[in-house]
Amino acid sequence: MSSTQSREEQPKCVNLKVVAQLSGVSIAPVSNVITGRKYVSPEVTQRVLEVVQQVGYTPNQIARSLKKRRTTFLGGMVPDITNPFFAEIVRGLESVALENGFQMFLYNTDGDVSRENTILKSFIEHHVEGIVNVAPRMSEEKLYSFVKSRLVPMVVVDRPVSFDDPFFGLVYTDNVTASSKLALHFLQKGHKSFACLAGPLIVLNVCDRISDFVGELRRLSVPQSSIFVLYGEFKFESGFRLMEELLEFENRPTAVFACNDLMAWGAMEAAKRRGFSIPKDIAIAGFDNVFFAELMNPSLTTINQEKFGAGVIATQILLEIVNARKGKVPIGAESFVRKVTLQADLIQREST
C-alpha cells in the first residue's frame, strides 16, 4: 500500500507494522518515535510522524495491555458522586490519573457493602493497576484481607483504618479537633442547648464527630440533658426531616451541628419554612465546606475538609505503590509516605 493512497482505501486496522511499511523503516524505530523510549533520528521521526498523521494511527491500548500484561486503568469508588464532597475528590483523582497516562473506572457504592464487593471484583477482572476507595463501609477485616491478597494496591480516603501494609495507603481528615472547635464556637455564641444531626453511625468519622462535639460540650460543663443527638443519612432530605423533628421538642435546642453540609442545608430549609430566623432563633453548622455552603442564605458555618487535594494525594500515593509493585522501587523500602492526615478548619459564616 503506498503512502499516497487516500484514507478510505487504507486498511481498517492500521497498526505499527503498517506505519513501519509506509515509513520504509522497521517496527522498532516507529515504536520508539511513538513511545519516546529511545532516540530516533530527526529524519526518521519526521517521516514516521507524517505517516502516523496521514493514516490516522492511534496506539491500541488494549493490545498493548495484553502484550505487557499490565493496563493503564485505575479504579475509583465513592459512595455518591452527586454529593459535591465526593465529586471534588474524584476531580483530584482524575487529574493525577490523566497526568500520568491512566484511565479511570468510576463507580458509586451507595454506601452498600455488597455493592462495594461487586465493584472490587469488577476492578480485578478489568486488571486495574490500583484502587482509590473513598469512604468504604466494609469491615476493616474485609479491607485488610483484600489488601493482603496482593491482587491490587489500594488507597482508602475519608475513613480511619488501623492496619498498615506496603500495598496500602490512607488519606484521612482529623475530624476530632474540628468538631471540638465547633462546640466551643457555639458556647462562645452563648448557646445553652445543642443538637447533633448525625450521619450513619457505620461511617466511622461520624462517630468521631459526634463523640468529640458532645465530648467537648461535656468537658465545658454542658449537662447531658442539654445535648440531643438524632441519627439520619448524609442527605438533604434527612437533615430536613430531623430538623422538623427537633422543632417539635419542648425545650428546642438553639445550636445545631449537622454532620455534613447537605444535612445542614436540609435542616436550614426546614427551619426557615417554619418561620424560624437563622441564626437568631436557631444556629446551624455543617461539615465539608462544599461549594454551595457559602452561597446559602444565610451562608453556612461549616468545617472545611480537603476534597480535591485529598483525591490528588490519594492517587499520588497509589501510583507510588503501583510503581514500587512494578519493581521500580522495592516494595516496603519506598521512601514515600503512604498514610497522610489532613487538617480540618472551622469556617465561621452567617448561619451561627
Binding residues for ligand RIB (CB under 6 A): 83, 85, 135, 158, 203, 205, 234, 260, 287-288
Q: Per the structure block, which three cell numbers stand in for 179?
A: 468538631
| Amino acid letter, 47 | R
Distance of CA 161 to the CA centre of its chain: 16
* Shortest separation between residue 240's beta carbon and ligand RIB, angstroms: 15
* Shortest separation between residue 173's beta carbon and ligand RIB, angstroms: 7
* Shortest separation between residue 313's beta carbon and ligand RIB, angstroms: 15
Three-state secondary structure call for residue 332: coil
* Distance between CA atoms of residues 50 and 184, nearest Å: 67
CB burial string 227-241: b at 16+ within 10 A, e below? bbebebbbbbebbbb
* Shortest separation between residue 36's beta carbon and ligand RIB, angstroms: 40
Residues contacting residue 282 through CB under 8 Å, at least 6 positions apart: 252, 253, 254, 255, 256, 271, 276
Cis check: omega of the bond before 160, within 30 degrees of 0: no
Task: Specify the residue, 40 or 183, whose C-beta has the smaller distance to ligand RIB.
Answer: 183
| Amino acid letter, 325 | R
Task: Specify the residue, 129 or 158, whose C-beta has the smaller distance to ligand RIB.
Answer: 158
Residues contacting residue 311 through CB under 8 Å, at least 6 positions apart: 88, 89, 90, 91, 92, 93, 94, 95, 96, 132, 157
- Residues 74, 318 contacting (CB under 8 angstroms): yes
Burial of 212 (0-12, 13-18, 19+ CB in 10 A): buried
Task: Specify the residue, 254 or 305, whose C-beta has the smaller distance to ligand RIB.
Answer: 305
* Shortest separation between residue 157's beta carbon and ligand RIB, angstroms: 9
Task: Specify the residue, 207 or 247, whose C-beta has the smaller distance to ligand RIB.
Answer: 207
Task: Specify the residue, 40 or 293, whose C-beta has the smaller distance to ligand RIB.
Answer: 293
- Residues 29, 44 contacting (CB under 8 angstroms): yes
Q: Per the structure block, which three cell numbers stand in for 308?
A: 480535591
Task: Specify the residue, 279 or 286, whose C-beta has the smaller distance to ligand RIB.
Answer: 286
Task: Specify the residue, 203 or 256, whose C-beta has the smaller distance to ligand RIB.
Answer: 203
* Shortest separation between residue 27's beta carbon and ligand RIB, angstroms: 50
* Shortest separation between residue 98's beta carbon and ligand RIB, angstroms: 24
* Shortest separation between residue 188's beta carbon and ligand RIB, angstroms: 24
- Residues 231, 200 contacting (CB under 8 angstroms): yes
Nearest to ligand RIB by Cβ — which residue?
260
Neighbours of 121 (CB within 10 A): 11
- Residues 261, 287 contacting (CB under 8 angstroms): yes
Task: Specify the residue, 129 or 288, whose C-beta has the smaller distance to ligand RIB.
Answer: 288
